[in-house]
Amino acid sequence: MNRRISDSLAFTLLVILAVVFIWRVVEFDIPPSDDAAMLMRYADHIAHGEGIVWNTGEAPVDGATDFLFMVVVALLRRIGSSLEAAVRFTTVISHIGTVALIYFGMRKLHRSGVVPAFLAAAYFAVGPGLFLSASFFGTPFFALAVAVAWLLAQKIILSHGGMIKNYIYFSLACLIVGLIRPEGVLISIFMLIATGIIPFKEFRLVVFVFGTVFIILGGMYFIWHWKYFGFPLPNPFYVKGGGHIYMSGLKRSVINNCYLLYPFIPAFALSVRNKKVLRLGIAFLVPIVGSAIMWVFLSDEMNFGGRFQYPMLSVGVLSWFPLVRSIREEIKLPRLETFSSKHRFSIILATLSIIIVVFAAHIHRSSKISYAKDGRYDIGVMLSDYADRGYTIVTTEAGLLPLYSRWRAVDAWGLNDQWIAHNRGITDEYLSSKHPAIIVWHGYFSPLYPPSHDSQDPWSRMVMTLLEFAERHDYKLAAAFGVSPRETHYYYVRADLPESAEIIDRIAGTEYIWYRSGEKCHDYASLCSSAASPAIPRHGSRQW
């Protein structure tokens, strides 16, 4: 069988594998993740000509950090696609595109056989990508760009330099990586450092081209971004970063990378066998290790399913084979055909057993990257009946509720609100200026377990501000949903709304599903006598 036919058959099998995986394993009948819904709101506003804004008619806000992904979704929405279909189409096609890139990249650039390329691409195909796509995250789109940039970096590394056009292609690919997500700039720099093992004269030229592209084209984007949004960095950075050190973010980043890449660790360990391969192994580790460490500077919140580390899976899958390609000749391993049929069968059986165990563990872990139907979606859809009233919702749950209600919204945590992000949290005065009709928060208490007013972490301070504002300004507690009284979603409605009683009844009457477990929630407001008053007892607080 010639190479073209074998490659066509292998890739066809990979596509079939991905389609079967979508059909039989991945749950696509769910609403967007709450975090993913934020970007979708921005994309919808762009598609309708409003610009990159959180609320129509207000100043631009860079709360959707996946810039190019947001633009692509907005374009598809503009030409007639539904918002949900635009996201799913882009991410699923990106995932299959990365599978193709891995297979054909290994075959052409790494000169691998069909089996190694097929197994590597299949491992990626059944990984977290499709589960993240089902959750409406743009991570597969970012992973595709990272894979393209890394293959171009490897082309420079493995050819010990090359033509200047390769340096230009690599630099442009890195620019795209940086335009999709801000951390893409750091990942690109790590890839550039990895090319440092080529002759110094060539490396200087790579750095020059890379710097020129980023200074000119990247600089133009940076200046536009600063002028358009009023700040140099994306809004979430000021909430989640702020120059602090997050050891928990580093720990989780390292753990996620280990889970994603553990089958390829032996290949890196084997690179110590000689100096040449060791230098290659170190170079290939630079983007992986650098990308793991960089999360020490950002909070780990919103890292659903390890999505911040997921793009490194494409780097790892594309890095192992060059490290072991020559090992058989170096240690003179006998070819399989030299063994007896009995021994060949035993070797094949043992190898298949290991492969099955590795794939089963990978699929099992990936399948945990899911969530259930979400009561916030149902409340958002219900509130859309009042979208033309000009009401404002203030909420810590700034995804599904704002997107599907189509209300003017204030993100109480500040990811999508520049004033809150730059003024260290929401205040009574700011709440009063917004005159919210509904206030919603995610709290770790309920009418059965009143809150401690002594907690000083930023989230608790924010929630206490919302609670105290609702207590003092005649808001009625519509519901406090949760599967445990120690973690709930609170809904307060302003008493003077013409539809106040109607909205309260409709919120309380919602069959509210908890997003993590899929369990039907209790309404602790209706289970507790304190639900008769909008205020939660302020004394005798119970701590746990």
CA distance 88 to 71: 14
> Six-digit token pair at 54?
């959180």
* Structural domain includes residue 458: yes
Number of domain units in the chain: 2
* Structural domain includes residue 220: yes
Range of the domain at 430: 375-532
Contact 164, 206 (CB under 8 A): no
Let me know the angle formed at the C-alpha of 137 by 134 and 139, rounded to the nearest 5 degrees. Answer: 110
* Structural domain includes residue 223: yes
Both 250 and 296 in one domain: the answer is: yes
- Confidence (pTM): 0.91
Of 339, 367, 395, which closes a domain?
367
- How far is C-alpha 76 from the geometric centre of its chain's CA atoms? 20
Contact 137, 304 (CB under 8 A): yes
Both 144 and 227 in one domain: the answer is: yes
Both 465 and 491 in one domain: the answer is: yes
3-state secondary structure 95-154: HHHHHHHHHHHHHHCCCCCHHHHHHHHHHHHCCCHHHHHHCCCCHHHHHHHHHHHHHHHH
* Residue reference for tokens 């207590």: 471
Alpha helices in 497-539 (DSSP H): 500-508, 524-527
* Residue reference for tokens 């599967």: 483
Both 259 and 408 in one domain: the answer is: no
**Cα atoms found within 13 Å of the Cα of residue 478, Cβ hemisphere only:** 26
* E strand or H helix at 488: strand 487-494
Both 363 and 379 in one domain: the answer is: no
* Structural domain includes residue 538: no
Contact 507, 535 (CB under 8 A): no
Both 354 and 391 in one domain: the answer is: no
> Six-digit token pair at 357?
């165990």
Both 455 and 477 in one domain: the answer is: yes
Let me know the angle formed at the C-alpha of 195 by 191 and 196, rounded to the nearest 5 degrees. Answer: 120
Contact 392, 409 (CB under 8 A): yes
* Structural domain includes residue 269: yes
User: What residues are paired with 482 via a beta bridge?
Assistant: 522
Both 357 and 208 in one domain: the answer is: yes
3-state secondary structure 389-417: HCCEEEECCCCHHHHHHCCEEEECCCCCC
Both 170 and 243 in one domain: the answer is: yes
Both 336 and 427 in one domain: the answer is: no
Annotate 285-314 with b (16+ C-beta within 10 A) or e (fewer): bbbbebbbebbbbbbbbbbbbbbbbbbbbb
pLDDT (tens, 9 = 90+) of the chain, 544 residues, equals 678 889 999 999 999 999 999 888 888 888 999 999 999 999 999 999 999 999 999 999 999 889 999 999 999 999 999 999 999 999 999 999 999 999 999 999 999 999 999 999 999 999 999 999 999 999 999 999 999 999 999 999 999 877 899 999 999 999 999 999 999 999 999 999 999 999 999 999 999 999 999 999 999 999 999 999 999 988 988 887 666 788 888 899 999 999 999 999 999 999 998 899 999 999 999 999 999 999 888 777 778 888 999 999 999 999 999 999 888 777 777 777 777 777 778 888 998 999 999 999 999 898 888 777 899 999 999 999 999 999 999 999 999 999 999 999 999 999 999 999 999 899 999 999 999 999 999 999 999 888 876 667 889 999 999 999 999 999 999 999 999 999 999 999 999 999 999 999 999 999 999 998 889 999 999 887 444 444 444 333 322 2
Both 416 and 433 in one domain: the answer is: yes
